[in-house]
Amino acid sequence: MIKPEWLKIKGSAARDRAMMTALLSDLSLNTVCHEAACPNIGECFGRKTATFMILGTQCTRGCKFCNVLDGRPDILDPHEPVNIAIAVKRLNLKHVVITSVTRDDLEDGGAGHFALTINEVRKLNPDTTIEVLIPDMKMNTEAIDMIINAKPDIIAHNIETVASLYEAVRPDADYEQSLQVLDYIKKQSPSTYTKSGMMLGLGEQPDQIKEVLIDLKNQSCDFLTIGQYLAPSKNHHPVIAYIHPDQFKAYELLAYKLGFHHVASGPLVRSSYHADEAMATVNNGK
């Protein structure tokens, strides 16, 4: 299937990209930008932004859409929380996104490491807003509480796709459990913004997408991202359809009508793409 014109990606300044790559290497850090083969890596590195990925590079699950490696998990790096804080400081970030691989092998799912990272970033960068994109933690409320109690500004958990496609796309996850994670976070900490994201082009139907948006809003989800799925390789779930930008705009308008505070919807949108704009929107009272 040939990619349409609207999925062509602009280039980036090689100097900025090289600087960002060198910084990450110097501090032994990973980014989801590299590991997930994000199409916006050039633009974001050119803007000196990145989504840091903690807890190693090996995921304990095997989602059919994801380019992150699955296999034997890495040993946790005790220096990682401080090194991320240093990177945020060096880059002078106003907003940082921290995500991770899924670590079902750890008793707390890596929640303690998330909390340490949030605390270190806050200590060194008190004016930086912090967003974490977390796995479902197997709906371990004690683990989720560790992250809530570290007080990030946004806690995101992606629903990814419609319920009927979970078996084919996310065989190790559960649609209802993902909704429960978002619901639990909001009920435990109403002042914490919650966020979710989904991909289109996996074979879902428009009425199913509407159902997902309604389900997310019923959990009082604040922010939403919707983007086009792009298969990382022939071994991943195939792209069933390329969704036209006009349709993404229609879903954006629907989401705002349902009551989401901020919506980013477009072919190249990813869960952490221009993530700072959501906080800017609510801070400006829009």
- Tens-place pLDDT, residues 189-198: 999 999 999 9
- Tens-place pLDDT, residues 83-138: 999 988 988 888 889 999 889 899 999 999 999 999 999 999 999 999 999 999 99
pLDDT beyond 60 at 265: yes
pLDDT beyond 80 at 5: yes
- CA pair distance 253, 249, nearest whole angstrom: 6
The DSSP annotation for 165-200 comes to GHHHH-TT--HHHHHHHHHHHHHH-TTSEEEEEEEE
Each domain of the chain, given as residue ranges in start order, spans 15-283
Please give the pLDDT value at position 34. Answer: 47
- Token pair 């501090």 is at which residue? 27
Element (H, E) at 245: helix 245-258
pLDDT confidence bin for 2, thresholds 50/70/90: confident
Please give the pLDDT value at position 36. Answer: 43
Query: Any residues with CB less than 8 A from the CB of 167 and at least 6 apart, and which?
Result: none
pLDDT beyond 60 at 68: no
Mean pLDDT confidence for 63-92: 80
Q: Among positive and negative, which fits the CA dihedral 268, 271, 276, 277? A: positive
pTM for the whole structure: 0.88
CATH tag, 15-283? 3.20.20.70
- Tens-place pLDDT, residues 13-48: 555 556 666 766 776 666 555 444 455 555 555 555
Q: What are phi and psi of 220, to 5 degrees?
A: 60, 35
Mean pLDDT confidence for 136-149: 97
Q: How far is CA 212 from each of CA 11, 163, 178, 241, rounded to the nearest angstrom?
A: 33, 8, 11, 18
Please give the pLDDT value at position 12. Answer: 53
Q: How far is CA 265 from each of CA 12, 227, 254, rounded to the nearest angstrom?
A: 22, 6, 11
- CA pair distance 171, 161, nearest whole angstrom: 12
Give the HSE-up count for residue 95: Cα atoms under 13 Å, Cβ half-sphere. Answer: 16
pLDDT beyond 90 at 140: yes
Please give the pLDDT value at position 14. Answer: 53
Please give the pLDDT value at position 51. Answer: 80
The beta strands (E) that lie in the chain are given as 30-31, 51-54, 95-100, 129-133, 154-156, 193-200, 223-228, 262-265
Range with the poorest average pLDDT among 100-104, 106-110, 154-158, 275-279 = 275-279
Please give the pLDDT value at position 276. Answer: 80
Please give the pLDDT value at position 35. Answer: 44
pLDDT confidence bin for 277, thresholds 50/70/90: confident
More confidently predicted of 98 and 279: 98
- Tens-place pLDDT, residues 234-259: 777 889 999 999 999 999 999 999 99
pLDDT beyond 80 at 275: no
- CA pair distance 93, 104, nearest whole angstrom: 30
Average model confidence (pLDDT) for the chain? Answer: 85
Give the pairing type, strands 129-133 and 95-100. parallel
